[in-house]
Structure 1
Protein backbone atom coordinates (compact mmCIF):
# COMPACT_ATOMS: atom_id res chain seq x y z
CA UNK A 1 0.00 0.00 0.00
CA UNK A 2 2.89 2.35 0.81
CA UNK A 3 4.43 1.70 -2.62
CA UNK A 4 1.04 2.42 -4.28
CA UNK A 5 0.75 5.72 -2.42
CA UNK A 6 4.25 6.73 -3.50
CA UNK A 7 3.45 5.85 -7.13
CA UNK A 8 0.21 7.81 -7.08
CA UNK A 9 1.98 10.70 -5.44
CA UNK A 10 4.66 10.79 -8.14
CA UNK A 11 2.00 10.61 -10.84
CA UNK A 12 0.13 13.52 -9.33
CA UNK A 13 3.37 15.52 -9.02
CA UNK A 14 4.31 14.86 -12.64
CA UNK A 15 0.83 15.90 -13.79
CA UNK A 16 1.09 19.19 -11.90
CA UNK A 17 4.62 19.72 -13.19
CA UNK A 18 3.46 19.15 -16.78
CA UNK A 19 0.65 21.64 -16.28
CA UNK A 20 3.06 24.25 -14.93
CA UNK A 21 5.76 23.94 -17.58
CA UNK A 22 5.43 26.04 -20.71
CA UNK A 23 7.50 26.29 -23.84
CA UNK A 24 7.39 29.60 -25.71
CA UNK A 25 7.61 29.30 -29.49
CA UNK A 26 7.82 32.13 -32.03
CA UNK A 27 4.98 31.88 -34.55
CA UNK A 28 5.00 33.18 -38.14
CA UNK A 29 2.20 33.17 -40.70
CA UNK A 30 2.89 32.69 -44.44
CA UNK A 31 0.09 33.62 -46.82
CA UNK A 32 -0.79 34.83 -50.30
CA UNK A 33 -1.00 33.24 -53.73
CA UNK A 34 1.18 31.03 -55.96
CA UNK A 35 4.58 32.59 -55.30
CA UNK A 36 3.91 31.95 -51.62
CA UNK A 37 2.78 28.41 -52.43
CA UNK A 38 6.21 27.93 -53.98
CA UNK A 39 7.21 26.61 -57.39
CA UNK A 40 10.81 25.76 -56.59
CA UNK A 41 11.94 22.20 -57.29
CA UNK A 42 13.34 20.23 -54.36
CA UNK A 43 16.02 18.79 -56.65
CA UNK A 44 17.39 22.34 -57.02
CA UNK A 45 17.72 23.00 -53.29
CA UNK A 46 21.18 23.61 -51.78
CA UNK A 47 22.36 20.81 -49.50
CA UNK A 48 21.81 23.03 -46.44
CA UNK A 49 18.03 23.00 -47.03
CA UNK A 50 17.42 19.44 -48.22
CA UNK A 51 17.06 17.89 -44.78
CA UNK A 52 14.55 18.05 -41.95
CA UNK A 53 14.93 21.23 -39.89
CA UNK A 54 14.90 19.94 -36.32
CA UNK A 55 13.21 22.28 -33.89
CA UNK A 56 11.10 23.99 -36.57
CA UNK A 57 7.45 22.99 -36.83
CA UNK A 58 4.91 23.84 -39.52
CA UNK A 59 1.14 23.59 -39.77
CA UNK A 60 0.32 23.80 -43.47
CA UNK A 61 -3.43 24.10 -43.91
CA UNK A 62 -4.97 22.06 -46.68
CA UNK A 63 -5.75 24.38 -49.59
CA UNK A 64 -9.14 24.32 -51.31
CA UNK A 65 -11.19 26.71 -53.41
CA UNK A 66 -14.00 28.94 -52.16
CA UNK A 67 -17.20 27.12 -51.19
CA UNK A 68 -15.34 23.84 -50.61
CA UNK A 69 -15.06 22.05 -47.29
CA UNK A 70 -11.84 20.57 -45.93
CA UNK A 71 -9.84 23.76 -46.11
CA UNK A 72 -7.38 24.45 -43.32
CA UNK A 73 -7.08 20.91 -41.97
CA UNK A 74 -3.62 19.63 -41.18
CA UNK A 75 -1.23 18.71 -38.39
CA UNK A 76 1.95 20.04 -36.87
CA UNK A 77 5.02 18.41 -38.38
CA UNK A 78 8.75 19.04 -38.38
CA UNK A 79 9.66 21.27 -41.33
CA UNK A 80 11.13 19.58 -44.38
CA UNK A 81 11.00 20.10 -48.16
CA UNK A 82 7.69 19.47 -49.93
CA UNK A 83 5.51 22.38 -48.83
CA UNK A 84 5.31 23.88 -52.32
CA UNK A 85 2.54 23.72 -54.89
CA UNK A 86 0.89 20.29 -54.92
CA UNK A 87 1.06 19.90 -51.13
CA UNK A 88 -2.03 18.54 -49.42
CA UNK A 89 -2.98 17.54 -45.89
CA UNK A 90 -5.43 15.65 -43.74
CA UNK A 91 -5.81 15.87 -39.98
CA UNK A 92 -3.20 13.14 -39.55
CA UNK A 93 -0.90 13.23 -42.56
CA UNK A 94 0.93 15.62 -44.87
CA UNK A 95 1.08 14.76 -48.55
CA UNK A 96 4.31 16.35 -49.68
CA UNK A 97 5.01 17.59 -53.20
CA UNK A 98 8.25 17.86 -55.17
CA UNK A 99 8.21 21.65 -54.75
CA UNK A 100 9.13 24.16 -52.06
CA UNK A 101 8.43 27.79 -51.17
CA UNK A 102 10.02 30.40 -48.90
CA UNK A 103 9.45 28.44 -45.68
CA UNK A 104 12.75 26.54 -45.74
CA UNK A 105 15.19 29.41 -46.14
CA UNK A 106 13.03 31.73 -44.05
CA UNK A 107 13.10 29.37 -41.07
CA UNK A 108 16.83 28.80 -41.35
CA UNK A 109 17.64 32.50 -41.64
CA UNK A 110 15.29 33.69 -38.90
CA UNK A 111 16.86 31.19 -36.52
CA UNK A 112 20.27 32.60 -37.38
CA UNK A 113 19.02 36.12 -36.72
CA UNK A 114 17.19 35.13 -33.53
CA UNK A 115 19.31 32.34 -32.03
CA UNK A 116 17.92 30.19 -29.27
CA UNK A 117 14.30 30.71 -30.31
CA UNK A 118 12.00 27.85 -31.27
CA UNK A 119 10.15 28.38 -34.54
CA UNK A 120 6.60 27.53 -35.62
CA UNK A 121 5.07 28.35 -39.00
CA UNK A 122 1.43 28.43 -40.05
CA UNK A 123 1.06 28.40 -43.83
CA UNK A 124 -2.08 28.88 -45.86
CA UNK A 125 -1.87 30.26 -49.38
CA UNK A 126 -3.57 29.53 -52.67
CA UNK A 127 -2.39 30.24 -56.18
CA UNK A 128 -4.39 32.66 -58.30
CA UNK A 129 -6.37 34.15 -55.42
CA UNK A 130 -7.34 37.83 -55.30
CA UNK A 131 -8.33 40.05 -52.41
CA UNK A 132 -10.92 42.02 -54.35
CA UNK A 133 -14.15 40.16 -55.10
CA UNK A 134 -14.41 42.02 -58.42
CA UNK A 135 -11.36 40.05 -59.55
CA UNK A 136 -12.89 36.75 -58.49
CA UNK A 137 -12.00 33.64 -60.46
CA UNK A 138 -12.14 29.92 -59.82
CA UNK A 139 -9.03 30.11 -57.59
CA UNK A 140 -10.69 32.05 -54.79
CA UNK A 141 -11.13 35.37 -53.00
CA UNK A 142 -9.71 36.74 -49.73
CA UNK A 143 -12.47 39.33 -49.24
CA UNK A 144 -14.08 38.42 -45.89
CA UNK A 145 -17.44 39.69 -47.15
CA UNK A 146 -17.45 37.62 -50.33
CA UNK A 147 -20.23 35.02 -50.06
CA UNK A 148 -20.02 33.01 -53.28
CA UNK A 149 -22.35 30.02 -53.19
CA UNK A 150 -21.92 28.86 -49.60
CA UNK A 151 -20.32 31.86 -47.90
CA UNK A 152 -16.92 30.14 -47.59
CA UNK A 153 -14.04 32.16 -49.01
CA UNK A 154 -10.26 32.14 -48.69
CA UNK A 155 -10.35 34.25 -45.55
CA UNK A 156 -12.58 31.60 -43.99
CA UNK A 157 -10.13 28.88 -45.06
CA UNK A 158 -7.33 30.90 -43.43
CA UNK A 159 -9.34 31.22 -40.20
CA UNK A 160 -9.95 27.47 -40.19
CA UNK A 161 -6.22 26.88 -40.61
CA UNK A 162 -5.36 29.09 -37.65
CA UNK A 163 -8.10 27.60 -35.49
CA UNK A 164 -6.93 24.06 -36.21
CA UNK A 165 -3.28 24.95 -35.65
CA UNK A 166 -3.88 26.75 -32.37
CA UNK A 167 -6.05 23.93 -31.01
CA UNK A 168 -2.92 21.82 -30.45
CA UNK A 169 -1.29 22.84 -27.19
CA UNK A 170 1.72 20.57 -27.63
CA UNK A 171 2.89 20.85 -31.22
CA UNK A 172 6.11 18.88 -30.68
CA UNK A 173 4.53 16.14 -28.51
CA UNK A 174 7.04 16.53 -25.68
CA UNK A 175 4.34 16.70 -22.95
CA UNK A 176 5.18 20.35 -22.27
CA UNK A 177 2.57 23.00 -23.04
CA UNK A 178 3.52 25.11 -26.05
CA UNK A 179 2.67 28.81 -26.06
CA UNK A 180 2.76 30.18 -29.61
CA UNK A 181 3.76 33.84 -29.68
CA UNK A 182 2.91 35.64 -32.94
CA UNK A 183 6.01 37.32 -34.37
CA UNK A 184 5.20 38.18 -37.95
CA UNK A 185 3.19 37.90 -41.16
CA UNK A 186 4.74 37.21 -44.56
CA UNK A 187 2.46 38.12 -47.48
CA UNK A 188 3.25 37.35 -51.13
CA UNK A 189 0.25 38.26 -53.29
CA UNK A 190 -1.19 40.90 -55.59
CA UNK A 191 -0.81 39.62 -59.13
CA UNK A 192 -4.45 38.56 -59.36
CA UNK A 193 -5.54 42.04 -58.26
CA UNK A 194 -3.58 43.70 -61.08
CA UNK A 195 -6.50 43.58 -63.51
CA UNK A 196 -8.90 45.26 -64.17
CA UNK A 197 -7.74 48.82 -63.49
CA UNK A 198 -10.44 49.59 -60.92
CA UNK A 199 -9.41 46.59 -58.84
CA UNK A 200 -5.72 47.50 -58.97
CA UNK A 201 -6.55 51.02 -57.80
CA UNK A 202 -8.30 49.58 -54.73
CA UNK A 203 -5.44 47.31 -53.76
CA UNK A 204 -3.95 49.51 -51.03
CA UNK A 205 -7.29 49.76 -49.24
CA UNK A 206 -7.96 46.04 -49.64
CA UNK A 207 -4.48 45.06 -48.48
CA UNK A 208 -4.68 47.22 -45.37
CA UNK A 209 -8.04 45.82 -44.39
CA UNK A 210 -6.94 42.23 -44.86
CA UNK A 211 -3.66 42.67 -42.97
CA UNK A 212 -5.53 44.34 -40.11
CA UNK A 213 -7.84 41.33 -39.96
CA UNK A 214 -4.96 38.85 -40.09
CA UNK A 215 -3.26 40.76 -37.28
CA UNK A 216 -6.47 40.63 -35.25
CA UNK A 217 -6.68 36.88 -35.81
CA UNK A 218 -3.34 36.57 -34.02
CA UNK A 219 -4.47 39.03 -31.30
CA UNK A 220 -1.68 41.49 -32.12
CA UNK A 221 -2.62 44.85 -33.65
CA UNK A 222 0.99 45.83 -34.32
CA UNK A 223 2.20 42.43 -35.52
CA UNK A 224 5.01 43.01 -38.07
CA UNK A 225 4.05 42.49 -41.71
CA UNK A 226 6.44 41.91 -44.59
CA UNK A 227 5.08 42.34 -48.10
CA UNK A 228 6.69 40.64 -51.08
CA UNK A 229 6.57 43.15 -53.93
CA UNK A 230 5.11 41.64 -57.08
CA UNK A 231 7.09 41.78 -60.31
CA UNK A 232 6.47 40.84 -63.94
CA UNK A 233 8.09 38.27 -66.20
CA UNK A 234 7.36 40.39 -69.31
CA UNK A 235 6.59 37.16 -71.09
CA UNK A 236 6.08 37.36 -74.82
CA UNK A 237 2.83 35.39 -74.55
CA UNK A 238 1.30 38.48 -72.96
CA UNK A 239 2.87 41.05 -75.28
CA UNK A 240 5.54 41.70 -72.71
CA UNK A 241 3.32 42.53 -69.72
CA UNK A 242 1.63 39.75 -67.77
CA UNK A 243 0.02 41.96 -65.11
CA UNK A 244 -1.57 44.84 -67.04
CA UNK A 245 -1.98 47.14 -64.03
CA UNK A 246 0.84 45.69 -61.96
CA UNK A 247 2.40 49.12 -61.48
CA UNK A 248 -0.69 50.22 -59.55
CA UNK A 249 -0.44 47.21 -57.25
CA UNK A 250 3.30 47.72 -56.71
CA UNK A 251 2.72 51.36 -55.79
CA UNK A 252 -0.10 50.31 -53.45
CA UNK A 253 2.27 47.89 -51.71
CA UNK A 254 4.84 50.65 -51.28
CA UNK A 255 2.17 53.02 -49.97
CA UNK A 256 0.92 50.48 -47.46
CA UNK A 257 4.37 49.87 -46.03
CA UNK A 258 5.17 53.59 -45.91
CA UNK A 259 2.01 54.37 -43.93
CA UNK A 260 2.21 51.39 -41.58
CA UNK A 261 4.76 51.75 -38.81
CA UNK A 262 5.24 48.00 -38.44
CA UNK A 263 5.61 46.85 -42.03
CA UNK A 264 8.43 46.27 -44.50
CA UNK A 265 8.68 45.32 -48.16
CA UNK A 266 10.93 42.94 -50.08
CA UNK A 267 11.94 44.55 -53.36
CA UNK A 268 14.51 41.99 -54.52
CA UNK A 269 11.72 40.29 -56.45
CA UNK A 270 12.17 42.94 -59.15
CA UNK A 271 15.38 41.17 -60.23
CA UNK A 272 14.09 37.59 -60.07
CA UNK A 273 14.00 35.33 -63.12
CA UNK A 274 10.93 33.32 -64.08
CA UNK A 275 10.47 29.61 -64.84
CA UNK A 276 7.16 30.37 -66.60
CA UNK A 277 5.09 33.54 -67.11
CA UNK A 278 3.98 33.65 -63.48
CA UNK A 279 6.46 31.93 -61.14
CA UNK A 280 10.04 32.46 -60.00
CA UNK A 281 12.94 30.09 -60.51
CA UNK A 282 13.98 27.70 -57.74
CA UNK A 283 16.91 29.74 -56.45
CA UNK A 284 14.70 32.81 -56.17
CA UNK A 285 12.47 31.12 -53.59
CA UNK A 286 15.56 30.47 -51.48
CA UNK A 287 16.55 34.12 -51.84
CA UNK A 288 13.02 35.30 -51.09
CA UNK A 289 12.83 33.36 -47.84
CA UNK A 290 16.09 34.91 -46.68
CA UNK A 291 14.91 38.38 -47.71
CA UNK A 292 11.64 37.92 -45.81
CA UNK A 293 13.54 36.94 -42.65
CA UNK A 294 15.95 39.86 -42.85
CA UNK A 295 13.18 42.36 -43.58
CA UNK A 296 11.11 41.05 -40.68
CA UNK A 297 14.05 41.16 -38.29
CA UNK A 298 14.66 44.77 -39.30
CA UNK A 299 11.21 46.00 -38.22
CA UNK A 300 11.64 47.97 -35.02
Structure 2
Protein backbone atom coordinates (compact mmCIF):
# COMPACT_ATOMS: atom_id res chain seq x y z
CA UNK A 1 0.00 0.00 0.00
CA UNK A 2 2.83 2.37 0.94
CA UNK A 3 4.48 1.60 -2.41
CA UNK A 4 1.41 2.77 -4.32
CA UNK A 5 1.14 5.92 -2.21
CA UNK A 6 4.75 6.79 -3.04
CA UNK A 7 4.18 6.12 -6.76
CA UNK A 8 1.06 8.31 -6.84
CA UNK A 9 2.90 11.09 -5.00
CA UNK A 10 5.82 10.93 -7.44
CA UNK A 11 3.45 11.02 -10.40
CA UNK A 12 1.82 14.11 -8.92
CA UNK A 13 5.19 15.84 -8.58
CA UNK A 14 6.13 14.85 -12.12
CA UNK A 15 2.84 16.24 -13.44
CA UNK A 16 3.36 19.53 -11.59
CA UNK A 17 6.93 19.92 -12.89
CA UNK A 18 5.87 19.01 -16.41
CA UNK A 19 3.38 21.87 -16.44
CA UNK A 20 5.63 24.35 -14.64
CA UNK A 21 6.37 27.50 -16.60
CA UNK A 22 8.65 30.50 -16.44
CA UNK A 23 6.01 33.18 -15.94
CA UNK A 24 6.51 36.92 -16.27
CA UNK A 25 4.61 38.89 -13.64
CA UNK A 26 2.89 42.15 -14.50
CA UNK A 27 1.06 44.20 -11.87
CA UNK A 28 -1.77 46.63 -12.58
CA UNK A 29 -2.92 48.96 -9.81
CA UNK A 30 -4.76 52.24 -9.44
CA UNK A 31 -8.22 53.76 -9.51
CA UNK A 32 -11.18 53.84 -11.91
CA UNK A 33 -9.49 53.80 -15.32
CA UNK A 34 -7.25 50.98 -14.13
CA UNK A 35 -10.27 49.12 -12.79
CA UNK A 36 -12.32 49.79 -15.93
CA UNK A 37 -15.19 51.74 -14.41
CA UNK A 38 -16.93 52.12 -17.77
CA UNK A 39 -15.54 48.91 -19.25
CA UNK A 40 -18.84 47.11 -19.70
CA UNK A 41 -18.26 43.37 -19.99
CA UNK A 42 -20.93 43.26 -22.70
CA UNK A 43 -18.31 44.93 -24.91
CA UNK A 44 -15.48 42.60 -23.89
CA UNK A 45 -12.97 42.47 -26.78
CA UNK A 46 -13.26 39.42 -29.03
CA UNK A 47 -10.58 36.78 -28.50
CA UNK A 48 -10.37 34.80 -31.77
CA UNK A 49 -7.01 33.27 -30.80
CA UNK A 50 -8.25 32.08 -27.38
CA UNK A 51 -5.32 33.89 -25.80
CA UNK A 52 -7.15 34.65 -22.55
CA UNK A 53 -7.29 30.98 -21.52
CA UNK A 54 -3.49 30.93 -21.52
CA UNK A 55 -2.93 34.09 -19.47
CA UNK A 56 -2.95 33.54 -15.68
CA UNK A 57 -4.96 36.24 -13.91
CA UNK A 58 -5.39 37.16 -10.25
CA UNK A 59 -7.46 40.16 -9.26
CA UNK A 60 -9.07 41.96 -6.37
CA UNK A 61 -11.34 44.99 -6.28
CA UNK A 62 -11.49 45.46 -2.49
CA UNK A 63 -14.96 44.91 -1.00
CA UNK A 64 -16.45 44.38 -4.47
CA UNK A 65 -15.10 41.36 -6.37
CA UNK A 66 -12.07 39.14 -6.69
CA UNK A 67 -10.73 35.90 -8.13
CA UNK A 68 -11.33 34.42 -4.66
CA UNK A 69 -7.68 34.26 -3.73
CA UNK A 70 -6.77 31.97 -6.63
CA UNK A 71 -5.29 32.26 -10.09
CA UNK A 72 -7.72 31.96 -12.98
CA UNK A 73 -7.43 33.11 -16.60
CA UNK A 74 -7.82 36.57 -18.13
CA UNK A 75 -11.47 37.63 -18.15
CA UNK A 76 -14.00 40.32 -17.26
CA UNK A 77 -14.24 40.84 -13.52
CA UNK A 78 -17.41 40.78 -11.45
CA UNK A 79 -19.37 43.91 -10.66
CA UNK A 80 -20.30 47.24 -12.25
CA UNK A 81 -22.32 45.63 -15.07
CA UNK A 82 -24.36 42.41 -15.50
CA UNK A 83 -21.51 40.89 -17.52
CA UNK A 84 -18.81 42.39 -15.34
CA UNK A 85 -16.18 44.95 -16.25
CA UNK A 86 -12.63 45.10 -17.60
CA UNK A 87 -9.80 47.60 -17.84
CA UNK A 88 -6.69 48.13 -19.98
CA UNK A 89 -5.26 44.80 -18.83
CA UNK A 90 -7.02 42.83 -21.59
CA UNK A 91 -5.30 44.49 -24.55
CA UNK A 92 -2.06 44.88 -22.58
CA UNK A 93 -1.80 41.20 -21.65
CA UNK A 94 -2.88 39.94 -25.08
CA UNK A 95 -0.25 42.08 -26.78
CA UNK A 96 2.39 40.81 -24.36
CA UNK A 97 1.53 37.21 -25.20
CA UNK A 98 1.46 37.96 -28.93
CA UNK A 99 4.95 39.45 -28.62
CA UNK A 100 6.28 36.25 -27.08
CA UNK A 101 6.03 36.99 -23.36
CA UNK A 102 4.42 34.61 -20.87
CA UNK A 103 2.46 37.10 -18.77
CA UNK A 104 0.81 36.38 -15.45
CA UNK A 105 -1.31 39.41 -14.54
CA UNK A 106 -2.04 40.60 -11.01
CA UNK A 107 -4.65 43.37 -10.76
CA UNK A 108 -5.52 45.36 -7.63
CA UNK A 109 -7.71 48.41 -8.29
CA UNK A 110 -10.56 50.48 -6.92
CA UNK A 111 -12.21 53.56 -8.38
CA UNK A 112 -12.23 56.86 -6.51
CA UNK A 113 -9.14 56.12 -4.41
CA UNK A 114 -6.33 58.56 -3.67
CA UNK A 115 -2.71 57.77 -2.97
CA UNK A 116 -2.75 60.12 0.01
CA UNK A 117 -5.84 58.90 1.84
CA UNK A 118 -6.51 55.39 0.54
CA UNK A 119 -3.38 53.68 -0.79
CA UNK A 120 -1.18 55.08 1.94
CA UNK A 121 2.48 54.55 2.70
CA UNK A 122 4.66 51.44 2.31
CA UNK A 123 4.41 49.30 5.41
CA UNK A 124 1.10 50.85 6.38
CA UNK A 125 -2.42 49.47 6.57
CA UNK A 126 -3.76 51.25 3.49
CA UNK A 127 -4.55 49.74 0.11
CA UNK A 128 -0.89 49.60 -0.90
CA UNK A 129 0.01 47.56 2.16
CA UNK A 130 -2.91 45.21 1.56
CA UNK A 131 -2.01 44.92 -2.12
CA UNK A 132 1.53 43.88 -1.23
CA UNK A 133 0.21 41.17 1.09
CA UNK A 134 -2.12 39.88 -1.64
CA UNK A 135 0.66 40.06 -4.23
CA UNK A 136 3.02 37.97 -2.10
CA UNK A 137 0.26 35.42 -1.59
CA UNK A 138 -0.41 35.29 -5.34
CA UNK A 139 3.27 34.82 -6.19
CA UNK A 140 3.53 32.09 -3.55
CA UNK A 141 0.64 30.18 -5.13
CA UNK A 142 2.39 30.13 -8.51
CA UNK A 143 5.70 29.07 -6.99
CA UNK A 144 3.97 26.32 -5.04
CA UNK A 145 2.77 24.92 -8.37
CA UNK A 146 6.37 24.80 -9.56
CA UNK A 147 6.34 27.94 -11.69
CA UNK A 148 9.24 30.37 -11.83
CA UNK A 149 7.95 33.93 -11.40
CA UNK A 150 9.93 36.91 -12.67
CA UNK A 151 8.60 40.45 -12.06
CA UNK A 152 8.53 42.26 -15.40
CA UNK A 153 6.39 45.37 -15.05
CA UNK A 154 4.22 47.61 -12.87
CA UNK A 155 1.34 49.65 -14.29
CA UNK A 156 0.03 52.50 -12.11
CA UNK A 157 -3.07 54.27 -13.47
CA UNK A 158 -4.04 56.73 -10.74
CA UNK A 159 -3.88 60.31 -9.56
CA UNK A 160 -7.17 62.05 -10.30
CA UNK A 161 -8.42 61.72 -6.72
CA UNK A 162 -5.21 63.30 -5.42
CA UNK A 163 -6.22 66.44 -7.27
CA UNK A 164 -9.01 66.94 -4.74
CA UNK A 165 -6.91 69.25 -2.56
CA UNK A 166 -3.71 71.30 -2.72
CA UNK A 167 -2.18 69.23 0.09
CA UNK A 168 -2.71 65.91 -1.66
CA UNK A 169 -1.60 67.28 -5.03
CA UNK A 170 1.63 68.86 -3.80
CA UNK A 171 2.57 65.74 -1.83
CA UNK A 172 1.85 63.38 -4.70
CA UNK A 173 5.38 63.26 -6.13
CA UNK A 174 7.02 62.18 -2.88
CA UNK A 175 4.32 59.59 -2.20
CA UNK A 176 4.48 58.05 -5.67
CA UNK A 177 8.27 57.88 -5.58
CA UNK A 178 8.14 56.07 -2.23
CA UNK A 179 5.61 53.60 -3.61
CA UNK A 180 7.72 52.85 -6.70
CA UNK A 181 10.92 52.55 -4.68
CA UNK A 182 9.31 50.20 -2.17
CA UNK A 183 7.74 47.94 -4.78
CA UNK A 184 10.93 47.75 -6.82
CA UNK A 185 13.33 47.38 -3.93
CA UNK A 186 11.70 45.89 -0.86
CA UNK A 187 8.84 43.89 -2.33
CA UNK A 188 10.08 42.52 -5.66
CA UNK A 189 13.87 43.01 -5.39
CA UNK A 190 13.83 44.29 -8.97
CA UNK A 191 15.40 47.77 -8.93
CA UNK A 192 15.08 48.27 -12.69
CA UNK A 193 11.50 47.01 -12.95
CA UNK A 194 9.71 48.83 -15.81
CA UNK A 195 7.01 51.16 -14.50
CA UNK A 196 4.18 52.47 -16.68
CA UNK A 197 2.28 55.49 -15.37
CA UNK A 198 -1.04 56.95 -16.47
CA UNK A 199 -3.60 59.52 -15.39
CA UNK A 200 -6.43 61.28 -17.21
CA UNK A 201 -4.82 64.59 -18.18
CA UNK A 202 -8.20 66.09 -19.09
CA UNK A 203 -10.00 65.13 -15.89
CA UNK A 204 -11.60 68.23 -14.26
CA UNK A 205 -9.44 67.87 -11.15
CA UNK A 206 -6.29 67.57 -13.26
CA UNK A 207 -7.13 70.81 -15.01
CA UNK A 208 -7.65 72.41 -11.61
CA UNK A 209 -4.42 70.99 -10.16
CA UNK A 210 -2.15 70.00 -13.08
CA UNK A 211 0.73 69.31 -10.69
CA UNK A 212 -0.40 65.67 -10.50
CA UNK A 213 -0.04 65.18 -14.27
CA UNK A 214 3.24 67.09 -14.17
CA UNK A 215 4.42 64.73 -11.43
CA UNK A 216 3.72 61.68 -13.57
CA UNK A 217 5.72 63.17 -16.44
CA UNK A 218 8.53 64.36 -14.15
CA UNK A 219 8.98 60.94 -12.57
CA UNK A 220 8.95 59.35 -16.03
CA UNK A 221 11.72 61.77 -17.05
CA UNK A 222 13.81 61.57 -13.88
CA UNK A 223 13.52 57.94 -12.77
CA UNK A 224 15.13 55.22 -14.92
CA UNK A 225 12.81 52.82 -16.77
CA UNK A 226 9.61 54.71 -16.05
CA UNK A 227 7.23 55.88 -18.80
CA UNK A 228 4.10 58.00 -18.91
CA UNK A 229 1.14 56.88 -21.01
CA UNK A 230 -1.31 59.51 -22.21
CA UNK A 231 -5.09 59.18 -22.36
CA UNK A 232 -5.56 62.18 -24.65
CA UNK A 233 -7.66 61.31 -27.67
CA UNK A 234 -9.18 58.19 -26.14
CA UNK A 235 -13.00 57.97 -26.13
CA UNK A 236 -14.77 58.52 -22.81
CA UNK A 237 -18.13 57.52 -21.43
CA UNK A 238 -18.24 60.69 -19.30
CA UNK A 239 -15.82 63.37 -18.08
CA UNK A 240 -13.67 60.81 -16.26
CA UNK A 241 -13.92 57.27 -17.57
CA UNK A 242 -12.70 55.58 -20.73
CA UNK A 243 -15.16 53.59 -22.83
CA UNK A 244 -14.47 49.91 -23.58
CA UNK A 245 -12.79 51.03 -26.82
CA UNK A 246 -10.78 53.63 -24.93
CA UNK A 247 -9.62 51.07 -22.37
CA UNK A 248 -8.56 48.72 -25.14
CA UNK A 249 -6.56 51.44 -26.87
CA UNK A 250 -4.98 52.53 -23.58
CA UNK A 251 -3.89 48.94 -22.99
CA UNK A 252 -2.13 49.04 -26.36
CA UNK A 253 -0.43 52.31 -25.44
CA UNK A 254 0.76 50.78 -22.18
CA UNK A 255 2.17 47.82 -24.10
CA UNK A 256 3.98 50.09 -26.57
CA UNK A 257 5.48 52.07 -23.68
CA UNK A 258 6.62 48.86 -22.00
CA UNK A 259 8.37 47.69 -25.17
CA UNK A 260 10.29 50.98 -25.40
CA UNK A 261 11.35 50.82 -21.75
CA UNK A 262 12.39 47.20 -22.10
CA UNK A 263 14.64 48.04 -25.05
CA UNK A 264 16.33 50.78 -23.01
CA UNK A 265 16.66 48.47 -20.03
CA UNK A 266 18.29 45.71 -22.04
CA UNK A 267 20.72 48.17 -23.68
CA UNK A 268 21.75 49.42 -20.24
CA UNK A 269 22.84 45.98 -19.10
CA UNK A 270 26.58 45.24 -19.31
CA UNK A 271 27.61 43.04 -22.21
CA UNK A 272 28.33 39.40 -21.37
CA UNK A 273 30.78 39.04 -24.28
TM-score by length of structure 2 reads: 0.82
Structure 2 Cα separation of the partners of residues 163 and 124 of structure 1: 13
Give yes or no for the alignment of 1:128 onto 2:112. Answer: yes
Could you give the per-residue CA deviations for residues 97-125 of structure 1, whole angstroms, max 9, x where no partner exists? 52111111111111122x1x322011101
Structure 2 Cα separation of the partners of residues 49 and 260 of structure 1: 38
Instruction: Tell me how far 1:49 sits from its aligned partner.
Output: 7.3
Match of 1:165 in 2: 138
Give structure 1 stretches of 5+ with no counterpart.
88-95, 147-151, 234-240
Instruction: Tell me how far 1:168 sits from its aligned partner.
Output: 0.9
RMSD: 3.1
Structure 2 Cα separation of the partners of residues 145 and 258 of structure 1: 27
Structure 1 Cα separation of the partners of residues 49 and 169 of structure 2: 38
Match of 2:92 in 1: 106
Structure 2 Cα separation of the partners of residues 232 and 102 of structure 1: 18
Call closer, same or farther: CA 1:206–1:282 in 2, change over 3 Å: same
Give yes or no for the alignment of 1:283 onto 2:245. Answer: yes
Indicate conservation of the 8 Å contact 1:83/1:101, yes or no.
no
Between the two proteins, the alignment pairs up a number of residues equal to 259
Between Structure 1 and Structure 2, which shows a larger proportion of helix residues? 2
- The structure with the largest alpha-carbon Rg is 1
Structure 1 Cα separation of the partners of residues 170 and 258 of structure 2: 27
Match of 2:268 in 1: none
Match of 2:62 in 1: 63
Match of 1:90 in 2: none
- Counterpart selection for 1:232 from 179, 202, 214: 202
Indicate conservation of the 8 Å contact 1:200/1:246, yes or no.
yes
Structure 1 Cα separation of the partners of residues 142 and 78 of structure 2: 26
Match of 1:42 in 2: 41
- Counterpart selection for 1:83 from 77, 81, 94: 77
Structure 1 Cα separation of the partners of residues 40 and 6 of structure 2: 54
Structure 1 Cα separation of the partners of residues 252 and 67 of structure 2: 26
Structure 2 Cα separation of the partners of residues 42 and 16 of structure 1: 38
Structure 2 Cα separation of the partners of residues 185 and 86 of structure 1: 25
Instruction: Tell me how far 1:129 sits from its aligned partner.
Output: 1.2
